[in-house]
A and B are shown apart, each in its own frame.
Chain A
Amino acid sequence: MPPIPFCLARTLRGGAVVATLLTLVAACSPPARRVSSPPLLGAAVALTGNASAIGQDQRIGLDLAAATIGPAGPGRRLPISLAVEDAGTDEQSASQAFRTLIGRDALAIIGPSLSQQAFAADPVADRAGVPVIGPSNTARGIPEIGPFVLRVSAPVSQVAPLSIARALRNDPGLQRVAVFYAQDDAYSTSETAIFQKALTDRRLKPVSVQRHQFSDTDFQTQVTAVLPLNPQLVVISAGPVDGGNLVRQLRTLGYRGQIVAGNAMNSPNIFPICQQQCDGLLIAQAYSPALAGEANRRFVAAYRQKLGNDTPPQFTAQAYTAAQVAAEALRRLDARRPVRGRPLAEVRRELNSEILAGRYDTPLGPLRFTPDGEVIQEQFGVARVRMEADGRRGRFELLD
């Protein structure tokens, strides 16, 4: 055998050293992360801050899901645990809560509460390959954030126009419409665009478009600017607290016409704010406790058992549904091939595909998803708020 040239020998020796080092590094590096036992689902909702009225409702839905869907039982071989993190009301807190849950090896994340937060936090999960199920993110463009982003909250484009149609049926002659929306909130700006398009489609041009901020509570300036224009219909895209205040001040300052409120005001949290003056509000609903179906009946019963005779709000139902969807898909996956102990990244990827492929019987009615994560929901309604004489309690009376 001819002698190996010196330079080649040096290269070979160097290669051997590098290969040995790489082997050592590989041997010393931590093993790929694996699915814990029991598998963990995460939720990040607004438990503090201005949107906490929404997040607290969602927390109740998640707790109900954890108690009724989480444990193993008949037809549910795999126990699932659920961890809830506070996503605050701002984008940074939501992103941080997502990172915490990803670090805790959550297989999927339910949240955040606001569309505004979703545009910041969802890309964090999407980049990490963790499925996100938006429970209340209705703004345009949410599923388009990435392949791991889904939502169970029907987009405003499907829900919002229904209440405009109903207002027109109530008063076919109406012509003068005033629009109010929170300009610093992605959901409100998205919804008002849909509302205004629905108005334009019906040849109704708003006589005034008033903007406010999500944290505002005093609407004297906007209301007194609008009332001299004699609107016959007011259309509001706002949260439960700012929207409730706006309704209250509109009525107190003398407005007597119809009011159409957006999806975020589909919550009993508006009742203590606008009290008797909530009466008559028209709201298109993605959820109603009165919806037919066994899943909704079971959900309403579980809610009442936990919280008394109140009816569950939409945000509670949607959060429960998100947890149900994730749990059902995970159990189907587990039935085909047990997930515990398998590489985390692989199971997250498979879970995403499984959620997208499934059909679900939920409190919101039958649900499925488009390939890009948009929810396909069949049942919507329009409700009218009916307040009791004491002005403290109310209900959503389903009209359509």
Chain B
Amino acid sequence: MDVLLQILVNGLSVGAVYALFALGYTLVFSVLGVINFAHGALFTLGAYLTYLGVGGAVGSNGALAGWALPLALPFPVALLLAGVGCAGANLLVEAVAFRPLRRRHAEPLLYLITSLGAGVVLVNLLQIAFGAEGYALPADALGDLPPMLTLAGARLRSVQLLLLLVCAAVMTVLTLWLERSRGGRALQAVSEDATTARLLGIDSDAMVRLSFALSGLLAGLSGGLVGLSVSIAGPYFGIVYGLKGLGVLVLGGLGSVPGALLGGLVVGLAEAAVPGDLSGLKDAVAFAFLFAILLLRPQGLLGRAPITKV
């Protein structure tokens, strides 16, 4: 029983990160029908910005060696500001890598290349500025919270619980906003049919920018939280999460917000169920599981099957 509970706890905490990550992909995909491959780089940027926000200093290898902000913000404030910074950065990605192609009605494949290029440039800029070394947020970033909690025999780091809670809160707020608010419904209308939405008086371009800003915000928040949980493993650490997030996006159903949540949790649990001494193979197991599900449901767990005109 203890073992099962531990697997559940491990799976949910990892899955929450994947879900948060995939949600960022989902927002852009649902509006534009393309994937923003710079999302992993924004995730990394969010982690670095949070680190700077809490007063972290740049190590000795980067161009900014030794530099730190003159003040150390509380972690929640630093995290929020990092999210806002990433929202701004993603708007820049949209302006540089997406908008020019959108105006020319370019093939979706081209977006893949330009967004990947933007991501690579961003990661390399981070390496130049911060160097290649890893960073970790201060151990006392969560104040007086105990570093570990025990739940009916299962061990859980407090930061993982925080991740779960933030993920649940973000998911709830986002779902409510999408369903209940005027802006959220406008975004959904654009994702259904941009031309019709424009005829109804909705500024489609503004909605696209909004989806990029929200997606960047989510990337920044998840990057900062993961940075707190497992450190910032150099400027490339977003790549691994980017690949996993992509798998989650497909598993949940392209463009589905609840699907991103469910897909993240399923992949997290699949990984956690791999026995510890075989956990080097957890990626293989997670992707094999994903493959098996897609054979049964090609549209993903909560995706809509394409309607074919006959």
> Are A and B physically bound partners?
yes
B19 interface residue per 8 A CB criterion: no
Q: For the complex, what is the distance from the CA of A242 to the CA of B236, rounded to whole Å?
A: 13
Is B279 within 8 A of A222, CB to CB?
Answer: yes
B132 interface residue per 8 A CB criterion: yes
A252 interface residue per 8 A CB criterion: yes
Residues of chain B within 8 A of A244, CB atoms compared: 134, 136, 231
CB of B239 to closest CB in A, whole Å:
8
Is A226 within 8 A of B276, CB to CB?
Answer: yes
A273/B277 contact (C-beta < 8 A), A241-B234, A244-B231, A252-B157 known: no
Kindly report which residue of chain A lies nearest to residue B233, judged by CB atoms: A241
Kindly report which residue of chain A lies nearest to residue B160, judged by CB atoms: A220
CB of B45 to closest CB in A, whole Å:
17
CB of A258 to closest CB in B, whole Å:
20
Q: Which of B127, B147, B280 interacts with A211 by CB under 8 Å?
A: B280
Residues of chain B within 8 A of A49, CB atoms compared: 236
Q: For the complex, what is the distance from the CA of A55 to the CA of B2, rounded to whole Å?
A: 43
Is A307 within 8 A of B60, CB to CB?
Answer: yes
Could you tell me which residues of chain B, from 135 to 149, have a CB within 8 Å of some CB in chain A?
Answer: 135-136, 138-139, 147-148
A314 interface residue per 8 A CB criterion: no
CB of B152 to closest CB in A, whole Å:
13
Could you tell me which residues of chain B, from 272 to 290, have a CB within 8 Å of some CB in chain A?
Answer: 272, 274-283
Residues of chain A within 8 A of B133, CB atoms compared: 53, 56, 269, 272
Could you tell me which residues of chain B, from 110 to 125, have a CB within 8 Å of some CB in chain A?
Answer: 124
Kindly report which residue of chain A lies nearest to residue B137, judged by CB atoms: A275
Q: For the complex, what is the distance from the CA of A240 to the CA of B134, rounded to whole Å?
A: 9
Could you tell me which residues of chain A, from 193 to 210, have a CB within 8 Å of some CB in chain B?
Answer: 208-210
Is B234 within 8 A of A221, CB to CB?
Answer: no
The total number of A-B Cβ pairs within 8 Å is 127
A52 interface residue per 8 A CB criterion: yes
A220/B10 contact (C-beta < 8 A), A53-B133, A56-B133, A245-B230 known: yes
Kindly report which residue of chain B lies nearest to residue A307, judged by CB atoms: B60
CB of B126 to closest CB in A, whole Å:
11
Is B229 within 8 A of A218, CB to CB?
Answer: yes
CB of B158 to closest CB in A, whole Å:
9
A290 interface residue per 8 A CB criterion: no
Residues of chain A within 8 A of B147, CB atoms compared: 252
A254/B134 contact (C-beta < 8 A), A49-B236, A221-B10, A273-B231 known: no
Q: Which of A56, A184, A245, A253 interacts with B131 by CB under 8 Å?
A: A56
CB of B134 to closest CB in A, whole Å:
4
Q: For the complex, what is the distance from the CA of A220 to the CA of B272, rounded to whole Å?
A: 9
A210/B277 contact (C-beta < 8 A), A53-B134, A220-B157, A241-B234 known: yes
Q: For the complex, what is the distance from the CA of A210 to the CA of B278, rounded to whole Å?
A: 7
Q: For the complex, what is the distance from the CA of A208 to the CA of B279, rounded to whole Å?
A: 12
Residues of chain A within 8 A of B231, CB atoms compared: 217, 241, 244-245, 248, 272-273
Residues of chain A within 8 A of B237, CB atoms compared: 215, 217
Q: What string of 1s and 0s marks CB contacts (under 8 Å) between B213-248 and chain A? A: 000000000000000011101101100100000000
CB of B249 to closest CB in A, whole Å:
20
A274 interface residue per 8 A CB criterion: yes
Kindly report which residue of chain B lies nearest to residue A220, judged by CB atoms: B10
A253/B148 contact (C-beta < 8 A), A183-B280, A211-B280, A217-B231 known: yes
Could you tell me which residues of chain B, from 169 to 217, have a CB within 8 Å of some CB in chain A?
Answer: none
Q: For the complex, what is the distance from the CA of A275 to the CA of B205, rounded to whole Å?
A: 46
Is B279 within 8 A of A254, CB to CB?
Answer: no
Q: What string of 1s and 0s marks CB contacts (under 8 Å) between A226-240 and chain B? A: 111000000000001
Q: For the complex, what is the distance from the CA of A253 to the CA of B148, rounded to whole Å?
A: 6
B14 interface residue per 8 A CB criterion: yes
Interface size class of chain A, counting residues whose CB lies under 8 Å from the partner chain: 35 or more
Q: For the complex, what is the distance from the CA of A269 to the CA of B233, rounded to whole Å?
A: 11
CB of A199 to closest CB in B, whole Å:
16
Q: For the complex, what is the distance from the CA of A269 to the CA of B60, rounded to whole Å?
A: 10
Residues of chain A within 8 A of B233, CB atoms compared: 50, 215, 217, 241-242, 245, 273
Could you tell me which residues of chain B, from 49 to 67, have a CB within 8 Å of some CB in chain A?
Answer: 59-61
Q: For the complex, what is the distance from the CA of A276 to the CA of B233, rounded to whole Å?
A: 17
A210/B134 contact (C-beta < 8 A), A218-B14, A227-B155 known: no
CB of A11 to closest CB in B, whole Å:
61
A76 interface residue per 8 A CB criterion: no
Could you tell me which residues of chain A, from 77 to 130, have a CB within 8 Å of some CB in chain B?
Answer: none
Residues of chain B within 8 A of A273, CB atoms compared: 134-136, 231, 233
B13 interface residue per 8 A CB criterion: yes
Could you tell me which residues of chain B, from 3 to 29, have a CB within 8 Å of some CB in chain A?
Answer: 6, 10, 13-14
Is A225 within 8 A of B127, CB to CB?
Answer: no
Residues of chain A within 8 A of B154, CB atoms compared: 224
Kindly report which residue of chain A lies nearest to residue B14, judged by CB atoms: A218
A48 interface residue per 8 A CB criterion: yes
B94 interface residue per 8 A CB criterion: no
CB of B244 to closest CB in A, whole Å:
11
Residues of chain B within 8 A of A294, CB atoms compared: none
Q: For the complex, what is the distance from the CA of A224 to the CA of B59, rounded to whole Å?
A: 31
A241/B134 contact (C-beta < 8 A), A225-B277, A273-B231 known: yes
Is A50 within 8 A of B236, CB to CB?
Answer: yes
Q: For the complex, what is the distance from the CA of A213 to the CA of B127, rounded to whole Å?
A: 22
A208/B230 contact (C-beta < 8 A), A220-B13, A221-B271, A269-B133 known: no
A349 interface residue per 8 A CB criterion: no
Closest CB pairs A-B (n = 5):
A225-B276, A211-B280, A52-B132, A183-B280, A217-B230
Chosen A-B contacts, 23 in total, with CB atoms closer than 8 Å, are A48-B124, A48-B132, A52-B132, A211-B277, A211-B278, A215-B237, A217-B231, A220-B10, A221-B272, A224-B6, A224-B155, A224-B276, A228-B2, A241-B134, A241-B231, A244-B136, A245-B230, A249-B230, A272-B133, A273-B134, A275-B136, A276-B139, A310-B60
Q: What is the interface of chain B, defined by CB distance below 8 A to chain A?
A: 2, 6, 10, 13-14, 59-61, 124, 127, 131-136, 138-139, 147-148, 154-155, 157, 160, 229-231, 233-234, 236-237, 240, 271-272, 274-283
Q: What is the interface of chain A, defined by CB distance below 8 A to chain B?
A: 47-50, 52-53, 55-56, 60, 182-184, 208-213, 215, 217-218, 220-222, 224-228, 240-242, 244-245, 248-249, 252-254, 269, 272-277, 307-308, 310, 391
